[in-house]
Amino acid sequence: MIEKYIRLYFNNTITKCVADSIQISKLFLGEGSKVRGLLLADAVQNYW
């Protein structure tokens, strides 16, 4: 049971991290950053 919560916590943390990264990249790079944000999301997923 606890293990399930830990897994959920980590998944949510990773998702939030990716979302934050995409938001940051939008701020710095404007609309063209969507592709970069997706690439970043893929990179993070592959890393984990």
Give the pLDDT confidence of 1-48 residue by residue, as tens digits.
Answer: 678 877 888 877 878 878 887 777 777 666 555 676 677 777 777 766
| Residue 22 lies in domain | 2-47
User: Which tokens hold the place of 1?
Assistant: 């049971």
User: What is the C-alpha to C-alpha distance for residues 40 and 19, in angstroms, rounded to an integer?
Assistant: 10
Query: Does the global pTM surpass 0.85?
Result: no
Total domains present in the chain: 1
